[in-house]
């Protein structure tokens, strides 16, 4: 098992398959992009499958989510999913994507064994999408969402970040649109994980503000807290159901006490927290001939040292040097 000193067990593995992305979202990276990892620094497909196998077979991981950057840019994605779907015990397999390219890959991913997808979409307006992402790919995302639903990658979840003065006026419209299509919407507070370190807490749209915006058009009834478990989203039943909406308040209402995640970066580093400033190198050990027992020991030690919380509310908080695109969302 992957335990820490506070009694938490990590059963949810987030695997970043690449640091590259085909969008340039303002809250993630600069317009000119970043210095990408060199190909020799990336884990190979076989190395990823070996480490996921170790996590599932020997370390108690039950859920695996593939992230990026943009994971659909990984050429071997379908084969990786297929290999992981054959593991025993079989983990739940999901994917977080910006949706570009999903229209042509959704069916293949479902046939390979992927269970569901989370798609990032912050606006229904193509021009606002261009402002936020610096790319004119809005229609591609809509087509990707529809393809995921048609392929049976359900429930399709949609992640949205509201930016003050940019798209915060769309909160209720986004929820109405998702309810009509049976997508599950999650609003996420903007987190300090941008490459340019431009995050400003005072400009962040908070969870309470998001709920106020939604309540102008919908009746929201909180789900019992017991149903949340270790899930990051607090959920509300909308207008009596069956639709629901979630809010991930990573900054104003952190859920660290129930965190059950461990993270593997595209270059083979274990991170025990999204906001961690340190990493444990599995790639070097793996390529130096370490056996599974040695790799498992390194992974256990990395998780044992996990802090009680992310520390965003602490005055001495320092933003991680690596942006979200490099460590997986």
Q: Give the whole-angstrom CA distance, residue 101 versus residue 227.
A: 34
User: Quick one: tokens of 50?
Assistant: 């070996």
84 annotated to bind ligand: no
* DSSP SS3 for 251: coil
Is residue 134 within 8 Å of residue 95, measured between CB atoms?
Answer: no
- The sign of the dihedral angle between the CA atoms of 22, 27, 30, 36 is negative
Nearest Cα residue to 254 out of 168, 305, 200, 317: 317
256 annotated to bind ligand: yes
96 annotated to bind ligand: yes
User: Quick one: tokens of 35?
Assistant: 């210095």
90 annotated to bind ligand: no
Nearest Cα residue to 248 out of 212, 277, 205, 215: 205
265 annotated to bind ligand: no
182 annotated to bind ligand: no
157 annotated to bind ligand: yes
206 annotated to bind ligand: no
Taking the CB of residue 308, how many other CB atoms lie within 10 A of it? 12
14 annotated to bind ligand: yes
120 annotated to bind ligand: yes
65 annotated to bind ligand: yes
Q: What is the DSSP string of 197-232?
A: ----GGGB--HHHHHHHHHTT--EEEPPGGGTTT-S
Q: Give the whole-angstrom CA distance, residue 85 versus residue 213.
A: 40
178 annotated to bind ligand: no
Is residue 68 within 8 Å of residue 18, measured between CB atoms?
Answer: yes
225 annotated to bind ligand: no
Q: Which residues of 49-78 are buried (b: 16+ CB within 10 A; e: fewer)?
A: bbbbbbbbebbebebbbbbbbbbbbbeebb
Is residue 189 within 8 Å of residue 206, measured between CB atoms?
Answer: yes
Q: Give the whole-angstrom CA distance, residue 31 versus residue 180.
A: 34
Nearest Cα residue to 99 out of 83, 118, 119: 119
> Which residue positions form the known binding site?
14, 21, 25, 27-28, 65, 69, 96, 120, 157, 191, 256, 259, 261-263, 273
> Which residue positions form the known binding site for [4Fe-4S] cluster?
21, 25, 28, 256, 259, 273
> Which residue positions form the known binding site for S-adenosyl-L-methionine?
27, 69, 120, 191
> Which residue positions form the known binding site for GTP?
14, 65, 96, 157, 261-263
């Amino acid at each position: 098992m992957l335990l820490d000193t506070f009694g938490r067990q990590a059963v949810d593995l987030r695997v970043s398959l690449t640091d590259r992305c085909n969008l340039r979202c303002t809250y993630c990276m600069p317009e000119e992009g970043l210095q990408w990892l060199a190909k020799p620094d990336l884990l190979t497909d076989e190395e990823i499958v070996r480490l996921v196998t170790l996590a599932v077979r020997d370390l108690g991981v039950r859920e695996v989510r593939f992230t990026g950057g943009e994971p659909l840019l990984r050429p071997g994605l379908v084969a990786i999913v297929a290999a992981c779907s054959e593991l025993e015990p079989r983990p739940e397999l999901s994917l977080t994507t910006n949706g570009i390219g999903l229209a042509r890959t959704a069916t293949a991913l479902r046939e390979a064994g992927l269970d569901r997808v989370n798609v990032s979409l912050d606006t229904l307006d193509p021009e606002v999408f261009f402002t936020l992402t610096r790319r004119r790919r809005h229609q591609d995302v809509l087509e990707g969402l529809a393809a995921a639903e048609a392929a049976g990658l359900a429930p399709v979840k949609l992640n949205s970040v509201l930016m003050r003065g940019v798209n915060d006026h769309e909160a209720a419209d986004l929820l109405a649109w998702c309810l009509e299509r049976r997508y599950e919407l999650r609003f996420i507070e903007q987190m300090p994980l941008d490459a340019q370190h431009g995050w400003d807490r005072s400009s962040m749209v908070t969870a309470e503000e998001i709920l106020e915006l939604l309540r102008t058009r919908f009746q929201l009834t909180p789900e019992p807290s017991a149903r949340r478990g270790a899930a990051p989203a607090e959920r509300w039943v909308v207008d009596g159901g069956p639709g629901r909406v979630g809010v991930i308040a990573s900054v104003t209402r952190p859920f660290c006490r129930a965190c059950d995640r461990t993270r593997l970066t595209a270059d083979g580093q274990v991170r025990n927290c999204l906001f961690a400033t340190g990493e444990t190198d599995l790639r070097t050990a793996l390529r130096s001939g370490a056996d599974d027992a040695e790799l498992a020991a390194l992974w256990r030690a990395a998780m044992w040292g996990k802090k009680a919380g992310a520390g965003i509310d602490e005055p001495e908080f320092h933003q991680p040097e690596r942006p979200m695109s490099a460590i997986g969302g």
